[in-house]
Amino acid sequence: MLRIVLVRPGQTEYDFQGRIRSRLAVPLTEEGTRQASEMVRQLQELQIAAIYCGPCPACLQTAEAFGKQLGKKVRPLDNLANLNAGLWQGKLFTEVKQNQPTVYKLWQEKPEAVCPPQGETLAEVRLRVQNVLDKIWKKHQKGENNVIVVAPEPLASIIRSEILHTDFGDLWEAERRCGWWELIQYEKNAVVS
């Protein structure tokens, strides 16, 4: 059985300000570094087979904190890049809500029906996520393995949705989450409770 420790990187300045980070290269704040250290402390007793992360600075810094403590090499994967929010990246959530209220509401209620201007659709992101999960499954399916995947929001919510076959939830709200983790049991093509 494969267990994925899905980690949201620590806080960045954009998280603190309420901005859409998307794929912008924003490092951890001091608080984000503290959050990463706390997650490492919480998970240090767990036997980890591998650490995968997205290519953004916040993911890399968070993953490196785990790698240093656990003596594991961090494996950045381009397919774990965050959702491309196009022209929304760098904007305040309140700006998008005020300037595009209909699109904002639709993104809350039915995000698969929205493509951020010059960004990517959730269908495109889901395909990337499925490819990553397939590779991780093939490499770690034998035995009882724990694998850390560090992914920013909303990508982490999309990964969670793919593994558990659930709705995405409110991706605007998810984007504001940082510095926490969850352990998900994963068996390809099946939800394990």
Cβ atoms of 78 and 60 closer than 8 Å: no
Indicate whether 190 pLDDT > 90. Answer: no
Q: What percent of the chain has pLDDT over 90?
A: 78
Number of independent structural domains in the chain:
1
The CATH code of the domain that includes 33 is 3.40.50.1240
From CA 111, how far away is CA 103, in angstroms rounded? 9
Amino acid (one-letter) located at 86: G
For residue 36, the enclosing domain spans 2-191
Rounded average pLDDT over 114-133: 94
Indicate whether 172 pLDDT > 90. Answer: no
- Crossing angle for the helix pair 155-164 and 122-140, to the nearest 10 degrees: 60
Mean pLDDT score of the chain: 91
From CA 83, how far away is CA 17, in angstroms rounded? 19
Confidence band, pLDDT 50/70/90 cuts, at residue 193: very low
| pLDDT tens-place string over residues 22-47 | 999 999 999 999 999 999 999 999 99
Amino acid (one-letter) located at 145: N
Pairing state between β 50-53 and 74-76: parallel
Cβ atoms of 168 and 161 closer than 8 Å: yes
**E-only strand ranges, 65-156:** 74-76, 145-150
Indicate whether 118 pLDDT > 90. Answer: yes
